[in-house]
Structure 1
């Protein structure tokens, strides 16, 4: 027995020694590539620096730390996110080479080990090049054409009417309230109806199960709330273990009721219910039939609807929340926007076409997303094969990412980058510029950006046509924090609302 225990101990010690030796060599790769970066821990990379930043601030503002690293180490630097080597760049030439010109070698998203077993693997969010991402993207892109967006315009208008009823009640009592909370409810009702014709009552009932489950999924994405996700990032070598443990994770518990519900909706719609509805699920089901059917599986349809739910709910509401804060803070900008909205309404009415023809509303939209981009940590790509770009040799498996906040705050890209100046976009003619990238870069950018833009502009046009927002003197400054993928307002957006004369 003693001999067996001794043998096991020796094997274990040898395994640990080999693991540490492998990790030590792995942590030297960035230096060998000729890149600079923060010094990593042999076990968990640069996560200790992130943890110290969170402890110092009392909340997660590590997006600022990564922007500071650009100033210290250059436009392209290296770091280790747990057990993964990352190249972080804000260099426009580098971004163009990796995300556009050599896209085929960087077509797969950067996905932590634990997330590889969730219910998004057959969606555009996580689908790989090898799994047929390109074919599914070509199928889904037409769903967001101008014609399809116009068809959903009235549906969104009806949801905004409900939202404005809530705003009117806030105006009547004239008290400070969190408009971000109401915008999240609006966005979830919009995406539920437009993605798969689900009628929810989130605006009037925050105990709505649909709302609770969607919020929990986003809470579990954050590694601060999901230890298993965090461990899978730190130790990707144990992928077999994370696969086995995934069904016991909080993320699985949060996503399963939504996936089961979407699966039931799919079956009902397949049987003919809601055939007259104009929504993404109906359009996807139509793609399964006809001469040009693309043979989408039930799993692909359900998981892409799930992806639309997640992407369209949190990000759009966050963008609108920031916009409300910035406009309430800058009363002169709010007044200019209101004047344009009223003039357009009096001349042509507020329709799909007219809201997209307002130059100042478009400038506000772009400047809000530049200054406070909701998505800052979901731009990573994985190198599929060894490649050399601009003299930098990138090995297979390396993660490459853009820190969107750093690009938008780069003084080489924007003058006075920390100031809210919508006017900078009034004569901006850099279409396709990589200086403004809130929806990502290249062929794998956000497929639903037209939908998000439509909801944003419709909501702000209707809201500021009827009301004005103010920030009371005793309300603390709004603080952006990182919650997994999204940069959201830490304590919401506290304002007062007043009817316009």
Structure 2
């Protein structure tokens, strides 16, 4: 058998290694003394996420692992009345009308980013877009005056000063790494105890992040009480006026950090992969830019005028742009597997009896690549989301099941920030593409783009030239 050499999420690659493009509906693993059930096909999802959606919930392991990092954020807490209340409030805060001011902030930051890149001429696209999205989400959460906060960060006994967003993402990676430490693998009950130097540094780093957010809360609350708060549209201001959140600073901190982590990384990875795929596929790039030029009169011209012209109504009419976005999410989804979930009762899902509390993981990457559902699944073909194209159908010529494309999952635990992610992507990308052509510096990247997703402990370096066009 071919040597196992994982490039993606390890278990995902192992399933591909063992079964190729015809993975079974279910695959089981034992990890950290827990049975993990991977769902590799769309058929069980109709049962799991639609018919029997009320039985699905978060598995407690993720919250356990990241307790010190994200606290009781709704990202990982189990479904209960408090979870439902918080999700409803945050959903309203991220609803389309509330996002209008956030979109204006993101457009301005994208404009500034484009201007900076044009001056520099060459960038690490992974690092630059990650930093840009951290700045965007921090500005949307706390206002532009807090878009680039600096905090202390300790690693291997040394303290340095870094961006708060970078500190948070490093801490999330280190939180997940704790699950792989030998003592936690052998004795999973030790996961709740932070006693190694690694653990103590993680606690220190998250305290610095939480302290900064607490100061922002205190300053914002003071401005509100004095009637001098000029920025009423940031998310923090909305939470401080909400009855559930306004007197619970810990709850505010947890949800802000959860939104910062999820919102910034999902969009950053999507934009980065999009620009890489477009650079590699010249036909798609040409067709995309022709559509942008036809529908946005200032595309390729005055950036400030384009910033003013861009609106959600206009970008919603860009069908090929939308197809390129979806194809990016399909080919290399920022989240290759779902968060671990479980059932709150024993259930039969698509013919398989699954016990209460068994860990379930949806293998999004595999579902997006099953060869009986996707024609030439490894190729970047935006036309597969065009109803008039042959690629819209399965290789057998049949319509694909809706559950074969689930970039944001589905059901009651679906991604809360999907609207935010869509809006951010669709207004930022045209501003980055306008007047620019992106080219890989490393010739090897022209043959094979480096894998990039949100779960990577170590991000790839992808140098790109930014050429004026």
What TM-score, normalized by structure 2, do the two folds share? Answer: 0.82
* 1:209 paired to 2:163: yes
Aligned residue number for residue 35 of structure 2: 85
CA spacing shift, 1:178–1:117, aligned 2, 3 Å: closer
Higher alpha-carbon Rg: 1
2:239 corresponds, among 250, 260, 284, to 284
**In the TM superposition, what whole-angstrom CA distance separates every residue of 1:125-184 from its partner, at most 9, and x where no partner exists?**
11212462222111211112111122212111111122112211133xxxx531221101
Aligned pairs, number: 433
2:443 corresponds, among 467, 474, 478, to 474
Distance in 2, Cα, partners of 1:442 & 1:231: 36
* 1:371 paired to 2:331: yes
* SS of alignment partner, residue 38 of structure 2: strand
Distance in 2, Cα, partners of 1:82 & 1:260: 33
Distance in 2, Cα, partners of 1:390 & 1:431: 18
Distance in 1, Cα, partners of 2:87 & 2:217: 20
Q: Is the contact between residue 380 and residue 399 of structure 1 (CA under 8 Å) also seen in structure 2?
A: yes
Per-residue deviation at 1:294?
7.4
Distance in 2, Cα, partners of 1:201 & 1:116: 24
Q: Is the contact between residue 159 and residue 186 of structure 1 (CA under 8 Å) also seen in structure 2?
A: yes
Aligned residue number for residue 213 of structure 2: 262
**In the TM superposition, what whole-angstrom CA distance separates every residue of 1:338-397 from its partner, at most 9, and x where no partner exists?**
111122111893223212221111111100011010112333212223223334222222
**In the TM superposition, what whole-angstrom CA distance separates every residue of 1:382-431 from its partner, at most 9, and x where no partner exists?**
22232233342222220011111101111122111110001111226989
Distance in 2, Cα, partners of 1:105 & 1:474: 49
* SS of alignment partner, residue 127 of structure 1: coil
Q: Which gives a bigger RCO, structure 1 or 2 (Cα 8 Å, sep 6+)? A: 2
Aligned residue number for residue 272 of structure 1: 223
Per-residue deviation at 1:110?
5.2
**In the TM superposition, what whole-angstrom CA distance separates every residue of 1:239-285 from its partner, at most 9, and x where no partner exists?**
5x633549934443332221221122122222225453311111222
Q: Is the contact between residue 371 and residue 408 of structure 1 (CA under 8 Å) also seen in structure 2?
A: yes
Per-residue deviation at 1:473?
6.2
**In the TM superposition, what whole-angstrom CA distance separates every residue of 1:34-74 from its partner, at most 9, and x where no partner exists?**
xxxxxxxxxxxxxxxxxx94xx4588655322334455761
What TM-score, normalized by structure 1, do the two folds share? Answer: 0.78
**In the TM superposition, what whole-angstrom CA distance separates every residue of 1:414-456 from its partner, at most 9, and x where no partner exists?**
1111100011112269899211111122111111111111221
Q: Is the contact between residue 66 and residue 176 of structure 2 (CA under 8 Å) also seen in structure 1?
A: no
Matching of residues 179-328 of structure 1 within 5 Å: 179-197=125-143, 199=145, 208-223=162-177, 226=178, 231-232=183-184, 235-236=187-188, 238-239=189-190, 242-243=192-193, 245=195, 248-272=199-223, 274-288=229-243, 297-328=248-279
Moved >6 Å (runs of 4+)? 429-432
Per-residue deviation at 1:487?
5.0
Unaligned runs of 5+ in 1: 1-51
2:353 corresponds, among 393, 400, 411, to 393
Matching of residues 346-425 of structure 1 within 5 Å: 346=297, 349-425=309-385
Aligned residue number for residue 53 of structure 2: 103
Per-residue deviation at 1:101?
2.5
CA spacing shift, 1:209–1:460, aligned 2, 3 Å: closer
CA spacing shift, 1:110–1:67, aligned 2, 3 Å: farther
Distance in 1, Cα, partners of 2:418 & 2:401: 14
2:455 corresponds, among 486, 493, 498, to 486
CA spacing shift, 1:232–1:432, aligned 2, 3 Å: farther
